[in-house]
Homo-oligomer: A and B are copies of this chain.
Amino acid sequence: MGEFDLIARYFTRPARADGAVALGVGDDCALLAPRPGMQLAISSDMLVEGRHFFADVDPLTLGHKALAVNLSDLAASGARPLAFTLALALPRVHEPWLQRFSEGLLRLADAHCCELIGGDTTQGPLNICITVFGEVPAGQALLRSGARAGDDIWVSGTLGDARLALEALQGRIGLPAGTLARARTRLETPTPRVALGQALRGIATSALDLSDGLLGDLGHILRASGVGAEIDADETSKLIAARALFTGATARLDMELLRQCTLAGGDDYELAFTAPPALREAVAGAAATAGTPVARIGRISAEPGLRLADAQGRPLAGRYASFDHFGG
User: Residues of A with Cβ closer than 8 Å to B?
Assistant: 1-4, 6, 22-23, 26-34, 36, 39-46, 48-52, 73-74, 76-77, 79, 85-89, 93, 117-125, 127, 129, 131, 133-134, 136, 138, 141, 143-145, 207-209, 224, 324-328
Q: Which residue of chain B has its CB nearest to the CB of A121? A: B325
Q: Is the CB of A28 within 8 A of B77?
A: yes
Question: In the assembled complex, which residues on chain B have CB atoms less than 8 Å from the CB atom of A141?
Answer: 23, 29, 31
How far apart are the CA atoms of A206 and B76 in the complex, in Å?
A: 39
Most chain B beta carbons < 10 A, residue from A6, A33, A117, A209: A33
Q: Which residue of chain B has its CB nearest to the CB of A36? A: B36
How far apart are the CA atoms of A295 and B275 in the complex, in Å?
A: 62
Question: In the assembled complex, which residues on chain B have CB atoms less than 8 Å from the CB atom of A145?
Answer: 27
How far apart are the CA atoms of A143 and B50 in the complex, in Å?
A: 39
Q: Which residue of chain B has its CB nearest to the CB of A88? A: B46
Q: Which residue of chain B has its CB nearest to the CB of A129? A: B129
Shortest beta-carbon distance, A32 to chain B, in Å?
A: 4
Q: Which residue of chain B has its CB nearest to the CB of A28? A: B76
Q: Is the CB of B129 within 8 A of A28?
A: no
How far apart are the CA atoms of A85 and B4 in the complex, in Å?
A: 24
Q: Is the CB of A125 within 8 A of B125?
A: yes
How far apart are the CA atoms of A187 and B85 in the complex, in Å?
A: 26
CB contact under 8 A between A119 and B44, given known A124-B127, A326-B2: yes
Specify which of B34, B123, B136, B328 is in contact with A51 (CB 8 Å cutoff): B123
Q: Is the CB of B44 within 8 A of A87?
A: yes
Specify which of B31, B48, B120 is in contact with A44 (CB 8 Å cutoff): B120
Question: In the assembled complex, which residues on chain B have CB atoms less than 8 Å from the CB atom of A48?
Answer: 89, 122-125, 127
Q: Is the CB of A29 within 8 A of B41?
A: yes
Q: Which residue of chain B has its CB nearest to the CB of A49? A: B124
Q: Is the CB of A133 within 8 A of B326?
A: no
Q: Is the CB of A326 within 8 A of B44?
A: no
Q: Is the CB of A325 within 8 A of B27?
A: no
Q: Is the CB of B118 within 8 A of A26?
A: no
CB contact under 8 A between A29 and B74, given known A40-B40, A44-B118, A122-B46: yes
Complex A-B: 20 CB contacts under 8 Å: A2-B327, A3-B326, A6-B326, A23-B141, A26-B144, A29-B41, A29-B74, A29-B77, A31-B39, A31-B41, A34-B34, A42-B133, A43-B118, A44-B87, A45-B120, A48-B89, A48-B122, A52-B122, A121-B326, A125-B125
Q: A3-B328, A28-B76, A124-B125 are in contact. List 12 more A-B contacts (CB 8 A).
A: A2-B328, A6-B326, A23-B141, A27-B145, A28-B73, A31-B77, A42-B118, A44-B129, A46-B87, A51-B123, A121-B325, A123-B325
Shortest beta-carbon distance, A67 to chain B, in Å?
A: 14
How far apart are the CA atoms of A52 and B127 in the complex, in Å?
A: 15
